Amino acid sequence: MKAAIRVEALKLSHSLVTVIATLALVGGMFALLGGITAGIAGGNEELIAQAGPAASLDWDGLLAGAAQITAVTAVLGFGIVLAWIFGREFTDGTITGLFALPISRSRIALAKLTVYAIWATLVSIALVLSVFILGLLFGYGAPDNATWAGLGRLWVLAVFSAGIAIPVAWITTLTRSLLAAVGATIALVVVAQVGALMGAGGWMPLAAPGLWAMSEGTAVTLVQLFLTVAVALTFAVLACLAWTRLQLDR
């Protein structure tokens, strides 16, 4: 198992997709928040109206904007990388070689998910650090306890977003198509947004982490957050089972 994890880690670290996704998530957060804050500071009335709580030029506003951005972009970024992790074996034709390895395909899938989880956790830390640095650059001062708590919620939101994207691994395996996987990633974001607009609130596992972070933990219960974890774990198991049942004649 350790060897499989090392191999998957090498694949991920040498992938241009991973580099681009990491830069897009972390750099994109920095650029978007910086642009929004500059526009608000410049008195852009339309932007101020659309920003809502993020229009406040302090830590609270910065964290509100970061949560809004993360709730959408993190799932997209994580989903695309996960699609590549599982889909490259089919597009590159390396899947046939995996049948000859002295390790079960379910363990290979588990190794892929383990490496993905480690990468997503590190990216989530980098994302929070970018927000922290941006707040200092804007002169918001040293964070107080409430701000540290907000930064912690932002990290949890990013990690949960990585979990929300796990169904992509299962869909990629079933369809053996990167296009289907990317489409599934977009669908996850759309379903989450529609569910939130329809008032499903915390009972929509795909939307619960974002609502929890943006409401400072008041709009979603721990039970509702657990449903998100349950969904992620369920699809992780389904992805491993799907790899167990892979056949060469498809």
Number of domains composing the chain:
1
pLDDT band for 233, please (50, 70, 90 cuts). Answer: very high
Domain assignment present for residue 20? The answer is yes
Domain assignment present for residue 129? The answer is yes
In this predicted model, which residue has the larger pLDDT, 27 or 195? 27
Domain assignment present for residue 240? The answer is yes
Nearest to 105 by CA among 245, 234, 3: 245
Domain assignment present for residue 249? The answer is no
Give Cα 18 distance to the centre of its chain. Answer: 13
Whether the per-residue pLDDT at 185 is higher than 60: the answer is: yes
Structure confidence at residue 33 (pLDDT): 85
Domain assignment present for residue 118? The answer is yes
Whether the per-residue pLDDT at 234 is higher than 70: the answer is: yes
Find out whether 168 and 82 touch, Cβ atoms under 8 Å.
Answer: yes
Mean pLDDT, the chain, rounded, equals: 85
Domain assignment present for residue 138? The answer is yes
Please give the average per-residue pLDDT across 207-234, as a whole number: 86
Please give the average per-residue pLDDT across 86-109, as a whole number: 80
Whether the per-residue pLDDT at 181 is higher than 80: the answer is: yes
State the Cα angle at 62 between 138 and 162, rounded to 5°: 125
Structure confidence at residue 132 (pLDDT): 94
What six digits make up the tokens of 117? Answer: 């989880």
Domain assignment present for residue 17? The answer is yes
In this predicted model, which residue has the larger pLDDT, 199 or 127? 127
Question: Residue holding tokens 């949960």?
Answer: 160
Range of the domain at 222: 2-244
Domain assignment present for residue 250? The answer is no
How far apart CA 183 and CA 3 sit, in angstroms, is 32
pLDDT band for 199, please (50, 70, 90 cuts). Answer: low
Structure confidence at residue 56 (pLDDT): 76
CA–CA distance from 246 to each of 8, 181, 240 (Å)? 19, 17, 10
Whether the per-residue pLDDT at 102 is higher than 70: the answer is: yes
pLDDT band for 200, please (50, 70, 90 cuts). Answer: low
